[in-house]
Chain A
Amino acid sequence: MTQPTANCPNCGAKIVFRWSSSVQTVCEYCKSILVRTDIDLKKVGQVADLPPNSSPIQIGTEGIYNRQAFVAVGRIIYEYDQGTWNEWHLVMNDGSAWLSDAQDEYVVTFAATGRKLPPECRVGQRYTWDNETYTVTTITKAHYRGLEGELPFQYWDKQDVVFVDLMSTNGKFATVDYSDETPVLYLGQSVEFDDLKLKNLRSFEGWS
């Protein structure tokens, strides 16, 4: 597979896209946030230093979900009152998914468009999507803390965000992202670390 390449408009470094449909990426050298246009890459922002993070996942980590191979190509880092968490952008054969890693609790979700969403939620309320009933368990106020790698949409210069997490009684998981005017629903499920069969993970000092 030939990967599309370009050069960073800021520092000239070579930019390699792991996924041909990526809309945005971050230059690994100068940390410029670059958006793809029809003709070239345009710098739209700059990533500040990333907070210390000990997710075992990194760009290039591969795994399997529902018998589909995936690779992590990018991430968004959020900060909340329990530290930071990562939304890893996974690329699969037929599109993208998200692997959320909050303190090593793993959830895989997919954007679910066209479902009816409430304008706001309270803890304990129930909603049914795709014949599955979810209960609101947590409402997390967070703020955008940084980016890495490739994303399927333009995303930078964010401030405060609100996520509503919902759980079902059989392991299904839903998140509504209320960051923008139009809320976005993600549906998926909690996953065990071992079940993801992850490769190319980070190593930790003192742990093998």
Chain B
Amino acid sequence: MSASGPNPPGTPQVKSLNCPGCGAAITLRSFSQAVTVVCDHCHSILDAQDPRLAILQKFQAAVDEDPPLIPLGTRGTIRGAAYEVVGFQRRTIHVDGVPYSWHEYVLFNPYKGFRYLTEYNGHWNDTSILRSLPTVNDNVSPATVTYLGETYKLFQTTKAGTSFVLGEFPWQVRVGEAADVSDYISPPRVISSERTGKEITWSMGEYIAGRDIWKAFSLQGNPPEAVGVYENQPSPLSADTTALWLAFVGFLVALVVMFIAFESFARNEQVIQGFYSFNTSVRGEASFVTDVFPLRGHTSDLELTTTSDVNNNWIYLSYALINQDTGQAYDFGREVSYYHGYDSDGSWTEGGHTDSVAIPSVPPGNYYLRVEPESDFGHGTISYSISAKRDVPQASFFGIALLALLVPAGLITWRSMNFEHLRWAESDYAPAGSDDDDSGGANRPISLGNLFGKGSDS
């Protein structure tokens, strides 16, 4: 320090000046970095580089019009560095004659310079000027820009005018001046180009939740509720749907492998088959028991099939599968019925001749069946057969497993597509129709229709 001479540069101090228009106090919080400063008393825009603060413009505004949600002078921590709110502007666009406004906060740190917060309907972005040029590709529709290897899609192009200002700005701000603004999105980021005259300024915003801003600036109360879906708002379904469907395909393959393994290793062994007849004209106890049959191997299912030649008739069988050694019984009832006829719509049939049921997890042992047939009295003799197979692979279990995989993946994807649909509904470059694959497909995480169809067929 001694070498720097007898007059080391002083420590810059926050300057308090007076507005040449109305005499009100003006504070210069960004030392000498601001180009313009606004008198919030008489709404004069002043030359901050001029020691006399020459008036550059006066604009009309109501007293306390548009008070900033984060007051000027508030300090907060953004990305580990302290920043002070030094300026505030409202910018307005007109869509079909309807004005829409958002707010921009100018933040300052004496070492790191300026950065910005923008707020629209409770949606916030942390924005800074780009130090490198994005590559614009306008041969595609919508146009894209590439920045540091990432592609951003054009979302909207508007003419944004400055409609209200407060505090300090590092540029020549004027109320009423407009710039052509284009937003290119790759949520949670947005790259914006602002063109005034020949020069283009590029900036990048990153979506930030209102509650994080409130925490960073230690603000009282709650941030305004975010309304709707904002252009670069990240989907709340943080799951990447492409990864989700890749995982789905992975599980599907595993499931098919399991299914094939079960198919080929299953014993599928016939353990009993018997042919019986039931005379419905005989009153009294019709129940009987079968011969004892062994169920071998590990605990597995038993598939019992009942076949009957019923014709415009029904037979109901009360079954009990009884373990001879332990006395454990599995009770269940099955019905076989078949009806057919002819009416004004033509011929019809209902029911069938066969019924199958799987009794899961039957331990090995010696078993017999107790069977009690029932039907309407006096319909002659009904023939029927009973057969049972041990260790039968159950395709339906795999169907259920498939559904269990498909339903959440489909639901998340549908909700995510719905979110993207709401996002792009606000864009000038919204896909033409939500089902049109050519223009809209690229916006979607994955072409869903096909995968979905494949999944439900298998």
- Interface residues, chain A, with chain B CB atoms under 8 Å away: 16, 18, 28-29, 51-54, 56, 58-60, 81-84, 103-105, 123-124, 135, 137-138, 167-172, 190, 193-194, 200-207
Contact = CB atoms under 8 A, between A and B. Distances in A.
A169 B135 contact: yes
A103 B111 contact: no
Contact of B114 (A18, A104, A206, A207): A104
Contacts of B14: 205-206
Given A28-B7, A167-B133, A82 B12 contact: no
Contact of B110 (A29, A105, A204): A204
Interface of B: 1, 3-9, 11-14, 30-35, 48-49, 82, 109-114, 129, 131-135, 146-148, 170-172, 198-200
B12 A54 contact: yes
Contact of A52 (B32, B112, B131): B32
Task: Give the top 7 A-B pairs by smallest Cβ distance, nearest first.
Answer: A104-B113, A28-B5, A54-B31, A190-B131, A204-B110, A205-B13, A54-B12
Contacts of A202: 9, 11-12
Contacts of B3: 16, 18, 60
20 contacts: A58-B9, A59-B4, A60-B3, A82-B171, A82-B172, A83-B33, A83-B34, A84-B49, A103-B114, A105-B131, A169-B146, A170-B148, A193-B113, A200-B1, A201-B111, A202-B12, A204-B110, A205-B13, A207-B109, A207-B111
Given A137-B133, A167-B132, A83 B7 contact: no
A47 to B, nearest CB: 12
A57 B34 CA distance: 17
Contacts of B13: 205
Given A52-B32, A83-B32, A168-B133, A58 B111 contact: no
Contacts of A29: 5-7
Given A54-B32, A104-B33, A138-B199, A28 B133 contact: no
Contacts of A169: 132-135, 146-147
Contacts of A172: 132
Contact of B33 (A103, A137, A206): A103
Contacts of B170: 82, 103
Contacts, number: 108
B389 to A, nearest CB: 69
A96 B172 CA distance: 34
Contacts of B1: 60, 200
A28 B132 contact: no
B200 A137 contact: yes
A101 B7 CA distance: 22
Contacts of A138: 199
B72 to A, nearest CB: 14
B12 A205 contact: yes
A166 B269 CA distance: 81
Given A56-B111, A169-B133, A204-B31, 19 more contacts: A28-B7, A51-B32, A51-B49, A52-B12, A54-B33, A56-B110, A81-B172, A82-B35, A83-B32, A83-B33, A83-B49, A105-B129, A135-B133, A137-B133, A138-B199, A167-B133, A205-B12, A205-B14, A207-B82
Contacts of A201: 111
A169 B198 CA distance: 19
B264 to A, nearest CB: 57
Nearest to A202: B9
Contacts of B171: 82
Contact of A123 (B82, B110, B198): B198
B132 A58 contact: no
Nearest to B111: A56
A105 B199 CA distance: 18
A59 B7 CA distance: 11
B348 to A, nearest CB: 73
A208 to B, nearest CB: 9
A54 B110 CA distance: 8
A60 B4 contact: yes
Contacts of B147: 169
Nearest to B31: A54
A200 to B, nearest CB: 7
Nearest to B12: A54
A54 B10 CA distance: 10
Nearest to B129: A105
B5 to A, nearest CB: 3
A206 B30 CA distance: 11
